[in-house]
Amino acid sequence: MGKRRARLVINSTLENLQLPTFSLTVTNASIILLRRHIQLIAISDNSLEIFCSIDECCNVVNVIQDELGFEALTDIWAIDLLFRNVKKRFAVTVALRNIISGARIRITSSLRENALAFSCSQLFAGANWPERKIWDLFGIIFEGSKDLRRLLSDYGFEGFPLRKDFPVCGYLEVRFDIEEKCVLVEPIRLAQHFRIFDFSSPWERDEKKC
């Protein structure tokens, strides 16, 4: 087993922030701009994570892009925190990378179920696809997105599959009907023998029959 990574959490003053592994210089202008928006900073080995409110996420990303040189967007993802006993259900993370130094920064924001997240598509052209994926799977709406459509699910799909309260089997089943010679979309029906599980070995069942 590998060694457990140490995690250091510091406050949002930023004056004592030292990042030798990042080879970054946090200027006074960056300190003044970021101090207004961030809530917490977490440093873990060679990664830096910034926590801020969902309303200030776009401003924080803009400052990090302009002042610190993190000009590459690597990914945007979301997590459903339904069963973690937290006030805000979802957490959205924006991952950025500095091309010159190779350093990476994650900006994480929490939001309620019906709250709006601000789109990063105006800052990064490639943000549209991961935002569409998050909307499709979690139902999080990104304000300011010009093309917020479903990306992975089928046309007319209802619900958001990666939400914790979405049933594993779904609501509809898609099958090919031989008699109709077409693909049918019907409400899912679970046969009774699928609900009764037999955990015995198939070889044991054959021996009993003999």
- Give the pLDDT of the chain (210 residues) as one tens digit per residue: 444 333 334 444 444 444 434 444 454 445 555 666 676 666 665 678 888 888 888 888 988 888 788 899 999 999 999 888 788 999 999 999 888 888 888 999 999 988 999 999 989 989 999 999 999 999 999 999 988 889 998 877 888 999 998 888 888 888 898 998 998 888 887 665 555 556 666 666 555 555
Q: Which amino acid is at 115?
A: A
Distance of alpha carbon 141 from alpha carbon 131, whole angstroms: 8
Mutual orientation of helices 28-35 and 57-67 as an angle, nearest 10°? 170
Q: Which of 174, 177, 143 is nearest to 157 (CA)?
A: 174
Per the structure block, which two tokens stand in for 207? 């021996």
Distance of alpha carbon 179 from alpha carbon 63, whole angstroms: 61
Whether the CB-CB separation of 118 and 138 falls below 8 Å is answered with no
DSSP single-letter state for residue 146: S
**Strands of the 38-44 sheet, one edge to the other:** 7-10, 38-44, 47-52, 104-111, 90-97, 72-80
Confidence at residue 119, expressed as pLDDT on a 0 to 100 scale: 92
Q: Alpha-carbon Rg of the chain, whole angstroms?
A: 23
Whether the CB-CB separation of 116 and 130 falls below 8 Å is answered with no
Confidence at residue 53, expressed as pLDDT on a 0 to 100 scale: 87
- Give ∠ CA 71-20-107 in degrees, rounded to 5: 40
Confidence at residue 201, expressed as pLDDT on a 0 to 100 scale: 66
Distances (CA, A) of 102 to 24, 42, 98, 148: 11, 18, 5, 31
Residue carrying the six token digits 């594993």: 168
Distance of alpha carbon 126 from alpha carbon 119, whole angstroms: 11
Confidence at residue 200, expressed as pLDDT on a 0 to 100 scale: 66
Residue carrying the six token digits 């030798």: 20
pTM of the predicted model as reported, rounded to 2 decimal places = 0.72
Go through the domains of the chain in sequence order and give each one's CATH number: 7-147 (3.30.460.80)
Confidence at residue 137, expressed as pLDDT on a 0 to 100 scale: 95
Confidence at residue 193, expressed as pLDDT on a 0 to 100 scale: 56
Confidence at residue 52, expressed as pLDDT on a 0 to 100 scale: 86
